[in-house]
Structure 1
Amino acid sequence: MLFRRSLRTSAAALTLLLPFAAACGTDARAESSTVTLTVGATGWKAEEAVLKYAGLDDTPYKIKWSLFQGGDQQLQAIRAGALDLASSSEIPPVFAAADGSANFKVVAVQKGATLNQEVVVPKGSKVTGIAGLKGKKIGYVQNTTAHYFLYELLKQAGLKWSDVDAKPLLPNDGLAALNGGGIDAFASYGTSIITAHQQGATTVGSGKDILSGNFLWSARDSVLNSPKQRAAAADLIARITKAYAYVRDGHLDGFAQVTADATHQPLAQARKDLTDAQAQRPTQARTVGDDTIASQQKVADVFTELGALKEHLDVKTFWTTELNADLEKAL
């Protein structure tokens, strides 16, 4: 069994290395060993973990993973020159580019599940739906999916943003405020929602059917200007896609255990969440297209309507197809 997996892993790694070698020259491994990508992750470094689990972490370049509470912080780090590659929902790049001097481009899209994107109320709350939040204090993670789906859920319930007392909070701070009685509800995502449920919170609204499932890879301009870093970025994004394909192909239980250990949730719950997520929308990358740009434009227009953006933002100014060719080869 181990021998079979080793053969499969080696083949997968070789498949991924070929386009990288073509992009960087015949001495790719020797030359690219000097290439380093500083990459952001939100929550618990799931991307790093899935690469290790699938045996695809032996990259011909170095990766420095940095953990953040949200994609908004990743984009702030890119703007500050502290990250080469950021992963986020459609929302953070909008705000990072709003001043018109973005030093990054969206280079690829990773399709992903929109589960665990919820508005929750604490144990014992009498609120059963979004309409019941009128006049209440609601925490939300600003400039993220939580900001977006909370606004849309309020509209669906016939409420305006001004009908609630919305307070921007980081995920950890929001959890503390929810449990301490500082807020009546919390709009968040990922591990913070998982933890909230473990602490007795219940769901009153979900962004599952509001969000597009487009999660964006943004690269600093300096990465796009370096052929070796650009090839490394394409290779890494493709490896993550292949790693999740490996998980779906009969290896879900093992990665559920990895997830449970990292997120401190029961194994059965971790397995259910992983199964549901991959069933709803398998994690896989795709190249930039007109439809992905249009999807983010719709999001930006909503934030203009909300007043969070001072003026109309043309999102295509910070998208590029420069990585498409490399990514297509790597995939």
Structure 2
Amino acid sequence: MFRRTLLTSTAALALLLPLATACGGDAEAESSSGLSSVTLAVGATGWKNEEAVLKFAHLDDTPYKVKWSLFQGGDQQLQAVRAGALDLASSSEIPPIFAAADGSPNFKVVAVQRGTTLNQEVIVPKGSKVTDIAGLKGKKVGYVQNTTAHYFLYELLQRAGLKWSDIDAKPLLPNDGLAALNGGGIDAFASYGTSVITAHQQGAVTVGSGKDVLSGNFLWSARDNVLKSAGRRAAAADLIARITKAYAYIRDGREHEFAKVVAKATHQPVAQAEKDFRDAQAQRPTQARTVGDDTIASQQKVADAFTELGALKGKLDVKSFWSRALDTDLEKAL
């Protein structure tokens, strides 16, 4: 069984807080020495696939420094941004909503990365009598709180005629949820990415999918100090654009070779890793775009759903924490 030691929320912040000084204070002036003096502390979820993609495409030799840190979810990345320990976070639409819910976020959503919504599923263990979402009524269901899993589980329950209160919902981190599913502590688990892949390797069965529930918009959130420096803005835009170019490089006939990298990291057979990658890119090629009214409206719809669920105390105006400050640099970099 694939296991990787990931930073939990508390441990992540404890380890990353010393980096806050290296990330630069809010009053940091733009350096006259150019990008070589810039260091970006950047979050990653899963197995640092963004870093691996850049390295595979020979685009990791940036003119600025990048310090990658690994988290189990985008929610933890946003917590690190709020703590001043990350400059740039990648997540689904959900984590910035909760990170901004207190009304005083220290970040802005500055770009959107279109991506696959595959491997976002509600799964049950092998031999379970539950065959669909309706069968979850009265069951213990794990989910990754304040993430895509939280949202698509809620939406799937509604579509099946169930309320959130109809299940015994248990917030769990991906690794903990997988262990609970295998150990009989929960009857089903709503999760994403590597945890879903690993669960299927262990015989888990899909009873619901977020594929057609989620928008495919994954957000880049930058700490406010990044936007105050022309050098940091240029570095952030360049990094985001490089990831887009790296995926295009892989799609240009290099899927099999990259699948070997993925398989080594996730302990999948190479053939399965290649199929998953091809399926993901066929559904929605990974590529960045600038902020648009449609992307803001998409997140507003999600925020309103969490208000209805009672996870947010009141209506949240999401456009208050979006910014087009990176648009010009990103358009040039792309």
CA distance in 1, matches of 2:259, 2:303: 35
Task: State the match for 1:163 in structure 2.
Answer: 166
SS in 2 for 1:105: strand
Task: State the match for 2:79 in structure 1.
Answer: 76
Residue by residue, what CA displacement relative to the aligned partner does 1:241-284 show, whole Å, maximum 9, x if unpaired? 00000000111111111111111111111001000000000000
CA distance in 2, matches of 1:70, 1:173: 13
Task: State the match for 1:330 in structure 2.
Answer: 333
State TM-score, norm by structure 2: 0.90
Task: State the match for 1:220 in structure 2.
Answer: 223
Letter aligned with residue 117 of structure 2: T
Letter aligned with residue 184 of structure 1: D
2:206 equivalent to 1:178: no
CA distance in 2, matches of 1:299, 1:118: 18
Question: What is the percentage of aligned positions where both structures have the same residue?
Answer: 83
Alignment of 1:175-324 (within 5 A): 175-324=178-327
Task: State the match for 1:17 in structure 2.
Answer: none
SS in 2 for 1:48: helix
CA distance in 2, matches of 1:172, 1:120: 14
Report deviation, 1:227: 1.0
CA distance in 2, matches of 1:144, 1:321: 24
SS in 2 for 1:66: strand
Gaps of 5+ in 1: 1-24
Report deviation, 1:188: 0.2
Task: State the match for 1:22 in structure 2.
Answer: none
CA distance in 1, matches of 2:295, 2:257: 33
Alignment of 1:82-161 (within 5 A): 82-161=85-164
CA distance in 1, matches of 2:249, 2:293: 29
SS in 2 for 1:313: coil
CA distance in 2, matches of 1:266, 1:184: 27
CA distance in 1, matches of 2:301, 2:257: 38
Letter aligned with residue 190 of structure 1: G
SS in 2 for 1:295: helix
Task: State the match for 1:67 in structure 2.
Answer: 70
CA distance in 1, matches of 2:114, 2:98: 21
SS in 1 for 2:41: strand
SS in 2 for 1:132: helix
How big is the alpha-carbon RMSD for the aligned residues of Structure 1 and Structure 2? 1.2
SS in 1 for 2:190: strand
CA distance in 2, matches of 1:314, 1:138: 30
How many matched pairs?
305
CA distance in 1, matches of 2:77, 2:266: 20
SS in 2 for 1:33: helix
- Regions of 4+ moved over 4 Å: none
Gaps of 5+ in 2: 1-29
CA distance in 2, matches of 1:283, 1:254: 18
CA distance in 2, matches of 1:41, 1:31: 25
CA distance in 2, matches of 1:149, 1:31: 43
Match of 1:55 among 45, 54, 58: 58
SS in 1 for 2:37: coil
Report deviation, 1:31: 2.9
CA distance in 2, matches of 1:80, 1:122: 37
SS in 1 for 2:307: helix
Report deviation, 1:34: 1.5
Letter aligned with residue 165 of structure 1: D
CA distance in 2, matches of 1:77, 1:235: 22
Report deviation, 1:32: 1.7
